[in-house]
Amino acid sequence: MNEKNLINEARQSVVEAGLALVHSAMTVGTYGNISCRIDEEHIAITPSGRNYEQLTAADIVVTDRDGEKTEGELLPSSELALHLEIYKSFPEAQAIVHTHSIYASALAASHKDLPPIIEDLTQIVGGTVRCTEYTLAGTKQLGRNAVEAMEGGRNAALLANHGAVCWGRNMKEALVTAHILEKGAQIYCIARSFGAPFPLDEKTVRTLHDFYINHYSKRQQGEE
């Protein structure tokens, strides 16, 4: 596939992911952002302040790894630095979804981690979803905080007083991670009303995550 086709494919993937978020009530209006890695040097990312339902592929901005715009007429998302820090730190990340979903944001507002209490969340994330320290949106430090929270094999983090960010080895996995994170956060909030939920032990966490990485995710792609 030539470079132009790769760019067009990445831009369309971001548009479709944005529609998926809106239709599942994972974000409202113009908030949140999505990106896709095009190659080692470039990403496609949603523009700043634009409604997902009105976006076209041509609206999606292309930047290099330093954040310099290479294609597109609009301004890139104000959270470009967050996305770039994650891509630089996790070479396997091919797509990033940042949401302001309700229950994940509730935990983020409380500066609470989300423990591994549900199997599907544990499989895909790899353990506790940690909450970062607070820092202003749109800063490199926000990206650094997210990367620190993801250390140890995680692909998701809660951003204090803000929302959640997830990455995947493809766009579908990034979206699924965001949805499962929100579901897990909702279950945790409900379970807390009954008493303290029981997190899975570390051995079980490793077993579940290894199974997902080495087998189940491959089955989802038709590779096993």
Active site residues: 79
Whether 116 and 127 have beta carbons less than 8 Å apart is answered as yes
SS3 for the chain is: CCHHHHHHHHHHHHHHHHHHHHHCCCCCCCCCEEEEECCCCEEEECECCCCHHHCCHHHCEEEECCCCEEECCCCECCCHHHHHHHHHHCCCCCEEEEECCHHHHHHHHCCCCECCCCHHHHHHHCCCECECCCCCCCCHHHHHHHHHHHCCCCCEEEECCCEEEEEECCHHHHHHHHHHHHHHHHHHHHHHCCCCCCCCCHHHHHHHHHHHHHHHHHHHCCCC
Tokens of 46: 């949603």
Alpha-carbon Rg of the chain, whole angstroms? 17
